[in-house]
Structure 1
Amino acid sequence: MNAIPRWVVLSGLTTSFYLSLISPASAAIIQSRDPAVSANDWDPVLNGDSGAGCADLAVIFARGTFDDGNIGPWVGSLFHDALVSHSSGIKIAMQGVSASDYPADLAGYVKEGGSNSCAKSLGSAVQKYNSHCPNSKVAIWGWSQGALCAHKSLSELGNAADSVIALGVFGDPVGIWQDTVNYPAIPSNTKLLSYCEQTTPDPLCTSVTEDFPSNPIEFINRLVAIWKQVDSTHMNDSQKAALTSLITELPKQAKSQISQLGKDIVSGHLRRWMLTPEHFWYGNDGTVKTAVGDLISVYQSKK
């Protein structure tokens, strides 16, 4: 792959434009945040503020491997912006899983099938939010490794499980992990909203269209070469910075897990490592807007 597909529509909207689209009801609950990588709307509740307000729809997001902040620049931030700009009349609060609890590194993905500490942190946050805001509807979301974390969190919710109306996942790799990891069943009251790019296939959630080397070092070098060829012209500034970081972190972290990569090649699990550019486009190709529409429809049906 030499460039981002032409169908990719990348967001060039500024934060000020998005803020102009937020309804007064939604704006009242949005707290200050770094819009590039973080969302902290649940903080007053999580920090124990007895006067903290409650959202109609409270969303928690688990970012993907290599993402900065607590929601990341590739998918989470653009999902947040689409959510607050398309939810007129609904008080929205979005939170990222604590970065101190969840480093979003490659080890958590390849060794655990999604960080266990992420799942525990996410579940704990939902329980605490629900105890303060029992009438709020909750939606759990994740992208990439965050999608696996979101699945795992379903066993960490306690009595708050009844408040969770949706499990939303972008580029969900659960299908290539289910033979070795036992993920919790999705409760009947929780709607699964899953988005996988199939036009230019995301190998973590659909069929693979390109052959990759079976030698671990050659495989890593091939991934890095693909990323170095990506056209960054239409990326926003945060994504350009993330791309530079990814090209450094991907081989470094992959080589530190070279033994696991070798085992996965032998056992037929090479697809788990195919972090190709197609896996990163959900925030830029219109998918987040589709997902927001679907989530709002689920919320309206649960009112």
Structure 2
Amino acid sequence: MAPTNGAYAMNRLAILSSFTSLLFTSLTTPASAAAIINRRDTAVSANDWDSVLKGDQGAGCADLAVIFARGTFDQGNLGPWVGGPFHDALISGASGINVAFQGVSTDDYPADLAGYIEEGGSNNCAKSLGSAVQTYSSHCPNAKIAVWGWSQGALCAHKSMGELGDAASKVIALGVFGDPISVWQDTVSFPSLPSSTTLLSYCEKTTPDPLCTDPTDDFPQSASAFIDRLVDIWKNVDQTHMNDAQKEAVGDLLVQLPKQAAGELGQLAKDIIGGHLRRWMLTPEHFWYGIDGTIKTAVDDLVRVYKG
């Protein structure tokens, strides 16, 4: 007799807990990663907007204020995969520009699988982000604001465009890494971009990110087997070009992915039948933007937009 979804999930979690300390060795990272990877661990949180968001009337204002929505399972309010490296790259690359960088509140946005798979990107994240932009813009009317997101955070960033109010005219850019919007547009209505906002979108195509390209892998067509396949891919991922924070995040993902997916196996089965399997393809290629050179390109593009 086949195990129930609950029994399956408990068995998988027990087995997977032993994986978190292993050194993984099979899939390869993008060829360019080795040449440009910064081995220094990055911050997983940034709170430069806090004094403004807390109502400090004496809080200073930046020239460029950036808010970032992290991806599913990410730690802190930026995460080690993309938000942290992008923060570091922007601070070092925006020479002569006073930058304030902020992550979306972890209290408002837990970056869990439910927000992604049940809502097409957390609605609370979008509201929190939009409210933060309005508050910052009200206190710092001369600041230029950029909204960024990766993975589920990209969906949150898109949704936040409908939560900006009068601050919409101050948002110069919407930047997204590994944007899954194409696999959600048939069921989720996303707001249009403000006329003043430039879309900056980055998708890994050399080693294709299946959330923003058409995948070529033949994934299993049952919910439990699909999760098994994802876990096996991550179990064998090459950690050579990851920093310590990212290696730790792999271990956490190996626990959180099957644990949180256990509560969504019914939805996964429906998505397989309904042709929405791509929504679930959280493969390693989706995590490379912080180590494959993309963040440097994104910084250059944002600075160009800022300078107008």
The two structures have a TM-score, normalised by structure 1, of 0.91
Q: Alignment partner of 1:201: what SS?
A: coil
CA RMSD in angstroms, aligned pairs only: 1.1
Residues 33-82 of structure 1, C-alpha deviations (whole Å, 9 max, x = no match): xx521010001101111111100000000000000100100000000000
Report the residue type matching 1:288 in the other structure.
I
Structure-1 residue corresponding to 2:28: 3
2:125, 2:156 within 8 Å by CA — same for their partners in 1?
A: yes
Structure-1 residue corresponding to 2:10: none
Structure-2 residue corresponding to 1:234: 241
5+ residue gaps, structure 2: 1-25
Structure-2 residue corresponding to 1:103: 110
Q: Alignment partner of 1:282: what SS?
A: helix
1:3, 1:229 within 8 Å by CA — same for their partners in 2?
A: no
The Cα of 1:14 is off from its aligned counterpart by 3.5
CA distance in 2, matches of 1:7, 1:294: 19
Q: Alignment partner of 1:37: what SS?
A: coil
Structure-2 residue corresponding to 1:12: 38
The Cα of 1:175 is off from its aligned counterpart by 0.5
2:241, 2:291 within 8 Å by CA — same for their partners in 1?
A: no
Structure-1 residue corresponding to 2:305: 298
The Cα of 1:176 is off from its aligned counterpart by 0.6
1:58, 1:136 within 8 Å by CA — same for their partners in 2?
A: yes
CA distance in 2, matches of 1:253, 1:233: 27
Structure-2 residue corresponding to 1:249: 256
Report the residue type matching 1:133 in the other structure.
C
1:273 partnered with 2:280: yes
2:45, 2:77 within 8 Å by CA — same for their partners in 1?
A: yes
1:133 partnered with 2:140: yes
CA distance in 2, matches of 1:82, 1:136: 20
The Cα of 1:92 is off from its aligned counterpart by 0.2
Residues 219-253 of structure 1, C-alpha deviations (whole Å, 9 max, x = no match): 00000000011111221111011010001111111
Structure-2 residue corresponding to 1:32: none
Query: Which of 186, 193, 213 is the matching residue for 1:186?
Result: 193
Q: Alignment partner of 1:60: what SS?
A: strand
Q: Alignment partner of 1:165: what SS?
A: strand
CA distance in 2, matches of 1:54, 1:149: 25
The Cα of 1:12 is off from its aligned counterpart by 3.1
The Cα of 1:263 is off from its aligned counterpart by 0.8
2:64, 2:100 within 8 Å by CA — same for their partners in 1?
A: yes
CA distance in 2, matches of 1:119, 1:203: 24
Residues 201-223 of structure 1, C-alpha deviations (whole Å, 9 max, x = no match): 00000110111001100000000
1:49 partnered with 2:56: yes
Structure-2 residue corresponding to 1:172: 179
Residues 141-171 of structure 1, C-alpha deviations (whole Å, 9 max, x = no match): 0000000000000011100001000000000
2:86, 2:290 within 8 Å by CA — same for their partners in 1?
A: yes
Structure-1 residue corresponding to 2:46: 39
Q: Alignment partner of 1:49: what SS?
A: coil
CA distance in 1, matches of 2:241, 2:271: 34
Q: Alignment partner of 2:33: what SS?
A: coil
Q: Which has the higher contact order (CA 8 A, sep 6+)?
A: 2
The Cα of 1:11 is off from its aligned counterpart by 3.2
Structure-1 residue corresponding to 2:5: none
The Cα of 1:100 is off from its aligned counterpart by 0.6
CA distance in 2, matches of 1:207, 1:295: 27
2:70, 2:77 within 8 Å by CA — same for their partners in 1?
A: yes
1:63, 1:145 within 8 Å by CA — same for their partners in 2?
A: yes
Report the residue type matching 2:56 in the other structure.
D
1:80 partnered with 2:87: yes
2:211, 2:281 within 8 Å by CA — same for their partners in 1?
A: yes
Report the residue type matching 2:295 in the other structure.
V
Report the residue type matching 1:239 in the other structure.
Q
Q: Alignment partner of 1:220: what SS?
A: helix
Residues 6-26 of structure 1, C-alpha deviations (whole Å, 9 max, x = no match): 3324633547xxxxxxxxxxx
1:196, 1:202 within 8 Å by CA — same for their partners in 2?
A: yes
